[in-house]
């Protein structure tokens, strides 16, 4: 398999999960078998005319396995060289196939099929509330200072996958700016809530909200609720006083965090999870057969 994924120089656990998870699910043969096949796994990388598609087109066969469409404006022509196992959510499915049913959820949920998964669920709880920032906002704010003031635990998305999983599993609740911070929490059955600050500015409102809603609807959570701190951008005089602007942003964030109880924590239902596990087992069996053919 030729793994197609986004790679962050500083690390980003949602993307790094691909190299960690799929060999565990399918065995080491995953990386060596079927070298004629491009594999799209976790990430919002279904983007028309992107280097992801360009690289995949070098191979005679392409597989989509829990991948996310980047935005509602994307359209990719899937010819006979593509095999769609499942997409991240119903909106991506509707856009690519004209039907809303070709999805399970984000590929990260395959962690639930790992032998060690139930061990993660038994991780002793050490942190009443943990916070996960978006990987591109880490350098924008002193998140450690803010979390210390709130009495929260900071979990950076640049941690290695094993450590990140254990940190989330050791939390009683999670507040996350990063979508995969919320996804990991949901997988590990840790109640979570979304925080909006920088990600939707960096990605664009349309991209960010499409991604979140695509995932939320896949786990049958139909309200995209969040706490939010407005971003003070470096404009005018502030570009000469970045420290002052940063302090304002930190004040806005602390105000939002202090009032976070206005938004409830979320968690997908056990019924939804059970249905997803059944569908994931079917998808795994099908891909196992392909790898061994």
Q: Is the pLDDT score of 238 beyond 70?
A: no
pLDDT of residue 74: 81
What average pLDDT does range 39-45 have in this prediction?
96
The residue with greater pLDDT, 209 or 244, is 209
User: Which strands sit side by side in the sheet containing 174-176, from one edge to the other?
Assistant: 153-154, 130-132, 174-176, 192-196, 226-228
Q: How far apart are CA 179 and CA 64, in angstroms?
A: 20
pLDDT of residue 2: 95
Residue 43's region, left for phi above 0, alpha for psi from -120 to 50, else beta, is: left
Chain segment 74-113, per-residue pLDDT in tens:
888 899 999 999 999 999 999 999 999 999 999 999 999 9
Q: Is the pLDDT score of 231 beyond 90?
A: no
The residue with greater pLDDT, 133 or 241, is 133
Round the average pLDDT of the chain to a whole number and report it. 94
pLDDT of residue 80: 96
To 10 degrees, the CA torsion angle through 203, 205, 207, 211?
A: 110
What average pLDDT does range 121-131 have in this prediction?
98
Q: How far apart are CA 225 and CA 109, in angstroms?
A: 21
Chain segment 215-229, per-residue pLDDT in tens:
999 999 999 999 999
What average pLDDT does range 251-255 have in this prediction?
95
């Amino acid at each position: 398999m030729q793994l197609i994924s986004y790679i962050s120089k500083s690390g980003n656990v949602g993307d790094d999960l691909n190299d960690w998870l799929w060999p565990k699910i399918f065995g080491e043969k995953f990386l060596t078998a079927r070298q004629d096949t491009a594999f799209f796994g976790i990430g919002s990388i279904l983007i028309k005319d992107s280097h992801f598609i360009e690289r995949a087109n070098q191979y005679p066969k392409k597989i989509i396995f829990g991948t996310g469409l980047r935005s509602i404006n994307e359209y990719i022509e899937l010819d006979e060289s593509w095999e769609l196992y499942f997409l991240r959510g119903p909106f991506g499915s509707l856009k690519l196939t004209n039907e809303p049913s070709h999805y399970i959820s984000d590929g990260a949920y395959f962690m639930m099929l790992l032998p060690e998964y139930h061990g993660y669920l038994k991780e002793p709880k050490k942190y009443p509330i943990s916070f996960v920032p978006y990987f591109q906002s880490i350098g924008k704010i002193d998140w450690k200072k803010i979390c210390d003031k709130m009495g929260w635990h900071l979990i950076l998305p640049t941690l290695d996958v094993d450590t990140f999983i254990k940190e989330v599993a050791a939390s009683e609740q999670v507040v996350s700016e990063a979508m995969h911070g919320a996804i990991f929490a949901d997988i590990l059955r840790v109640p979570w809530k979304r925080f909006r600050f920088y990600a939707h500015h960096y990605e664009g409102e349309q991209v960010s909200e499409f991604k979140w809603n695509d995932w939320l609807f896949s786990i049958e959570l139909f309200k995209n609720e969040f706490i939010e701190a407005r971003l003070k951008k470096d404009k005018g005089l502030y570009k000469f006083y970045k420290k002052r602007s940063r302090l304002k942003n930190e004040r806005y964030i602390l105000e939002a965090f202090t009032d976070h109880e206005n938004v409830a924590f979320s968690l997908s239902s056990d019924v939804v999870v059970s249905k997803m596990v059944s569908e994931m087992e079917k998808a795994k069996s099908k891909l196992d057969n392909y790898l061994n053919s």
